[in-house]
Structure 1
């Protein structure tokens, strides 16, 4: 077990090192931040002073080496725009994104599992076909189009929900969150729903498939023979069986949602790291861009590592194949 975990950790470190090199070279080879940071009539002396202060005149290899040395100490450089540590700016925005992603996952479970059960227990019926057609639309329609339609329907036509911003936040257990105020909660609903639509479709399909594969198994037939009600069979025996793959997939999807919340945050002006990275790319704020990508990649690596370890604990055959 120790060898298995150690191998996964070394692989994660190698992936992170390669990613840092590729991202650094790609980002620092694009554009000139001085064109955005300085006015058009800036003198050569002012340009030289800003270039020296940002170390943009150092050779690229030296810049990368300094970046790695500082990153290992938890310092990813100072933002050109905010004039603050890049990691501090990202972690300041990250809670809003985590709140959005967590809410979307909760919605996907609350809506997707019951609909998946309904479709799975009524195969080849009108109910099944309707639910599965809706799940296809959830996968097929572009995320940005879904967001604009949600704004059009619920904000413009009906006027029920606000379309942009995070709203007022409050404190729960020392954490600033939109759940603490009604204004913050209603601001959260539309962007969370937009981000959850594809996940709802995924959960519906996973649940439906799991139900249809589990219902013919022997332990379900044995439960029926014992006189256990169909409701209890579904809610206890079948539900426990299909929940493991659903939670596993959503655990991996959690990292994907953080990375791909950019579109939703941009459409709804949600003040998370997704909107931050778009603004930073437009402003050529290189430290923010590099730090953001490495933070997201690190989260992916950690989540995948945790999933690998959990699977190896649940199924020793995985460890034997990996060793």
Structure 2
């Protein structure tokens, strides 16, 4: 297990290096931020002074190596627009995005797993077929259209929920969140639900597929032959064995949800990292864009590592196969 973790850490460092290289040059190719930041009527002297102040007068490779050297010391640059450390600016918005992503993931699992179990246990019933039809809609409908429709229906027409914003926050055990207030819960309800629909559809289909594959297994027949209650057979023997693919997908989906909340945060005016990213792209604020993508890449790598470790806990065969591959 130790060799496995060390190898994964080395792969993670290499992935981060390649990611930083690709993103730095990709952002550099978008355009010159000076064209956005200074007055178009400025003369050449002011233009060159601004270029030098931001370090943009040097060759691209020199800029990258300076960035890499500073990044190894925890400094990924200062925002051109806000004149604030880019990482600090992103981390200020991170709690709101994390709160939204976690809430949507909880909604997707709390609703998706029971619906998937029902659809798997009773595939030919009207309820089972309806659930699967609904999951197809979750994959097919454009996310931005669904979210705008939710605002029109539940916020504008019915007036049940606010149309945007984070709402009132409160602090509990050192954690500040809108989940601790009624006003905050009403504000997060629509964006979290809209964000969870795709993941919910995925969980439903994964759960149903796992149930259909597991039910014919011999150990399920043996458990029933022993006289175990059906609820125990389902909760212990069936559910435990279908958790591995669900854990994998949820880990990856969580990273994806955090990374791609841009549309949801923009539509619902949610003050998270996604909204900051859109603003930074509009102003060609390179340090913020690069820092955001590196942070997301680090999250993906960390989540993948945790998923692999959870694999080993849920299924001992993973540990055995890993040990076997190392001994060859």
Q: With structure 1 as the length reference, what TM-score do the two structures score?
A: 0.95
Do the aligned partners of 1:312 and 1:318 also contact (CA within 8 Å) in 2?
Answer: no
Q: 2:306 and 2:228 mapped to 1: Cα distance?
A: 36
Q: Please say if residues 139 and 201 of structure 1, whose CA atoms lie closer than 8 Å, have aligned partners that are also in contact.
A: yes
| Equivalent residues in 2 for 1:47-62, closer than 5 Å | 47-62=47-62
Distance across 2 between alignment mates of 1:47 and 1:100: 41
Q: Which residue of 1 aligns with 2:176?
A: 176
d(CA) in 1 for partners of 2:8, 2:36: 42
> Could you say which residue in structure 2 is the equivalent of 1:223?
223
Q: Are the equivalent residues in 1 in contact too, given 2:28–2:286 (CA < 8 A)? A: yes
Structural RMSD (CA): 1.6
Distance 1:23 1:320 in 2: 37
Matched with 2:253 is 253
> Given that residues 247 and 307 in structure 2 are in contact (C-alpha distance below 8 angstroms), is that contact kept between their aligned partners in structure 1?
no
Which deviates more, 56-65 or 240-249? 240-249
Deviations 1:265-285 (A, max 9, x none): 111111111111111000100
**Could you tell me which residue of structure 2 aligns to residue 320 of structure 1?**
324
Counterpart position of 2:106: 106
Question: What is the DSSP-based 3-state SS (H/G/I as helix, E as strand, rest coil) of the residue aligned with 2:77?
Answer: coil
* Aligned-pair CA distance for 1:77: 0.5
8 A Cα contact 1:138 1:197, kept in partner: yes
Q: Distance in 2 between matches of 1:10 and 1:225?
A: 49
Work out the CA distance in 1 between the residues paired with 2:271 and 2:243. Answer: 33
Does residue 302 (structure 1) correspond to residue 302 (structure 2)? The answer is yes
Distance 1:62 1:213 in 2: 56
Quick check: 1:211–1:242 contact (8 Å CA) kept in 2? yes
Structure 1 residues 221-273: Cα deviation after superposition (integer angstroms, max 9, x where no partner): 23322332222322333222222321222012111111111111111111111
Q: How does 1:22-61 map to 2 (within 5 A)?
A: 22-61=22-61
Does the aligned pair in 1 maintain the 2:4–2:322 contact within 8 Å? no
User: What is the deviation of 1:312?
Assistant: 4.9
| Correspondence list, 1:167-316, <5 A | 167-312=167-312, 314=316, 315=318, 316=320
**Mapped partners of 2:122, 2:159: distance in 1:** 37
Structure 1: give runs of 5+ residues left out of the alignment.
Answer: none
Deviation track 1:13-34 (CA, whole Å, cap 9, x = no partner) reads 1111111111111111221212
Instruction: Give, in angstroms, the shift of residue 43 of structure 1.
Output: 3.5
Q: Secondary structure at the match of 2:30?
A: coil
Q: Are 1:93 and 1:273, in contact at CA under 8 Å, matched by a contact in 2?
A: yes
Q: Secondary structure at the match of 1:29?
A: helix
Q: Report Cα offsets for 1:271-305 as digits up to 9, x if no partner.
A: 11111111100010000001111111111111112
Separation of aligned partners in 1, 2:180 and 2:80? 34
- What CA distance in whole angstroms lies between the structure 2 residues aligned with 1:88 and 1:158? 39
Rounded Cα–Cα distance in structure 2 between residues aligned with 1:236 and 1:305: 26
Counterpart in 1 of 2:93? Answer: 93
Rounded Cα–Cα distance in structure 2 between residues aligned with 1:211 and 1:221: 14
SS at match of 1:97: helix
Give 1:319 deviation, angstroms. 4.3
